[in-house]
A and B are shown apart, each in its own frame.
Chain A
């Protein structure tokens, strides 16, 4: 049996409630494996892990259609996997191998797969916000009911592109959902040191759109808020700003030990771990057995390891690959 494609993986996430936990465990296991590969000297450059923030990716992927466009950021492993991009394509890209989703030319910060609506993620803070408004403009002009979703961090809420993108989307009533994944820190700085408001959602008022603070640790609240915002967008009622309150367990990037965090803060957030919350709910609902998580973790762990080995076995791109896809027509 061949491994499922990105599109098939996306369908499974939509169809099976249990898959939310499976995928969440996969995101965390993949990122932990990426960290190991990094420690082994096999990953070049930097990596930005989303461990602790998985519920945001899962909830969005649960509600978005593959024909909706998701424009995310360099902290993009979680959303890529949630949307369906395979662990081989993600790890292959991070390792710079041809099985990577950009053929090894992009790296950790630049994941993409248009078959599941993931636009190439950008390494520039805030840049994707107007891009998402533009994808919404396409739907608006063509009269489809597709929507766009911009995912960005709390740090992006202070850059011009955020304000310009929101205002543009508001005045044109574009079908876009702006999702601020607020993990409390922009790079190494705590939000209160860089941002004039406590709730970034409150900035929606300046652009006459609904702004909603959402518990970003709970997949179901993320999914519900996303579904409502997407429904507004598809109905022609314009954009929404969602602020997902969440937390990154690791530093900003691999070189950051996050020493700036107050003692106990990480542990406090870990009390509300998104995977634990989801697991408890699925047990309560009878979707999984009380002791099933261990088996899921073992199974996912094996699959992630197999994907890592497949990525490691994949060659680096040939020299000519750096001259391809620069302008239309040079596809190699």
Chain B
């Protein structure tokens, strides 16, 4: 049994432990040093590791993310903080076109052991330019790994693994979850493997796959109704197809619960893969419960509906298991019909 840490504390602990273990790990971003980070994740690191390794930058994402690529190619292990994921837009060349290609172009002579931490997610009323998940921006780029922790243990375990990883890792931290507490096994034993998911609730009627915020939503929905096996994917690239296939081969039904637009969501990849591998063995059409294909609305009542709710997941999963027939997205029946 480990320590109980908030997710922001788990992230800080992971950074601290990796910085203590490896003098090449540096942290850089806007207001990460003196101010301790806009979300207070890096608080205290400047005092402990000094301004050579904990670096405040101007508001210049292309500049400091690009510098991290160069530093990573020459021996450091930079951890870049992007305050809100949208801010990475101006640095896309550096990440997508440079960092993700440098190993390939150098026939392995140069790598990019860099972590790009960014806050993501809706639910806090930050509006459509500060609330997206945008995992899809990265998933389609070979050479980049994508992690999204759902609890304090995976925040710690995945972040340490990401820093140790020899390739660029985009590490998505849901800002609405920073205050959530959970048990963390600190130290080497708490380090997780990138690419491995976990069954967080056992069940037999249906496999429900979530990531980040939606894992908790799926777990709450599993309190009643059909017997749901809930999987936390933890890593979106590479994702744990073995774990999902094994589970669905037992339950015969697959549901993904995703934050973010329906079109192009990670669940489409999961559903397509399962359909190809388990053709003929499924009891029901696979179901994707996602956000609608809209920018994230600001008004509270609308943003609440943008995210999949516990009630929606409970109802739709129950309907699927009861009928074994396709279940339509809520907006098709409720709004656009």
Question: Which residues of A come within 8 Å of B, CB atoms?
Answer: 43-46, 93, 96-97, 102, 104-110, 122-126, 155-156, 158-161, 186-189, 193-195, 255, 260, 316-317, 319-323, 326
Q: Is B23 an interface residue, CB under 8 A from the partner?
A: no
Consensus secondary structure, chain B interface: loop
A161 to B303, CA, bound (A): 30
- Assess whether A316 is in contact with B127, with CB atoms less than 8 Å apart: no
Question: Which of B30, B86, B125, B294 is in CB contact (< 8 Å) with A187?
Answer: B30
27 pairs from A and B in contact (CB 8 Å cutoff): A44-B124, A45-B130, A96-B299, A96-B300, A105-B128, A105-B298, A105-B302, A106-B128, A109-B130, A110-B128, A110-B298, A124-B90, A124-B129, A125-B59, A159-B58, A159-B60, A161-B90, A188-B35, A189-B31, A194-B59, A316-B301, A319-B335, A320-B335, A322-B305, A326-B293, A326-B294, A326-B295
Give A122's nearest chain B residue, CB to CB. Answer: B129
- The contact string, 1 if C-beta is below 8 Å from chain A, for chain B 63-77, is 100000000000000
Question: Could you tell me if B127 and A123 are in contact, using CB atoms closer than 8 angstroms?
Answer: yes
> How long is the Cα–Cα vector from A97 to B299 in the complex, in angstroms?
7
B179 interface hit (Cβ, 8 Å):
no
Q: A124 — which chain B residues lie within 8 A by C-beta?
A: 86-87, 89-90, 129
Residues of B within 8 A of A102 (CB): 298
Bound Cα distance from A108 to B34, whole angstroms: 27
CB contact between B298 and one of A106, A160, A260 (< 8 Å): that residue: A106
B56 at the binding interface (Cβ < 8 Å): yes
The A contact surface, by secondary structure, is loop
For the complex, is B331 an interface residue (Cβ under 8 Å from A)?
yes
B176 to chain A, nearest CB (A): 11
B189 interface residue per 8 A CB criterion: no
Contact B62–A160 (Cβ < 8 Å):
yes
Interface centre among A102, A123, A321, A326 (most CB of B within 10 A): A123
Q: Does B126 contact A (CB under 8 A)?
A: yes
Bound: A319/B301 CA distance, A: 8
How far, in angstroms, from A104 to B121 measured CA to CA in the complex?
Answer: 19
Complex CA distance for A187 and B32, rounded to whole angstroms: 11
Distance of A251 from chain B, by nearest CB (Å)? 11
Not counting A105-B297, A126-B59, A323-B335, a sample of 6 additional A-B residue pairs whose C-beta atoms are within 8 angstroms of each other reads: A109-B126, A160-B60, A187-B59, A319-B302, A321-B297, A323-B294
Taking the closest CB of chain B, its distance from the CB of A24, in whole angstroms, is 27
Please tell me if the beta carbons of A104 and B299 are within 8 angstroms of each other in the complex.
Answer: yes
CB distance from B213 to the nearest CB of A (A): 17
Across the interface, do A322 and B302 meet the contact criterion of CB distance under 8 Å?
yes
Closest to A190 in B: B34
* A44–B292 touching, CB < 8 Å: no
Q: Counting CB contacts under 8 A, is B1 at the interface? A: no
In the complex, per-residue mask of B39-64: 1 if CB is within 8 Å of any chain A CB, else 0? 00000000000000000111111110
Q: In whole Å, how far is B17's beta carbon from the nearest beta carbon of chain A?
A: 26
A156, A188, A317, A326 interface centre (most CB from chain B within 10 Å)? A188
- Tell me how far the C-beta of A240 lies from the nearest C-beta in chain B, rounded to whole angstroms: 23
Q: Tell me, in angstroms, the Cα distance from A155 to B60 when the chains sit together.
A: 9
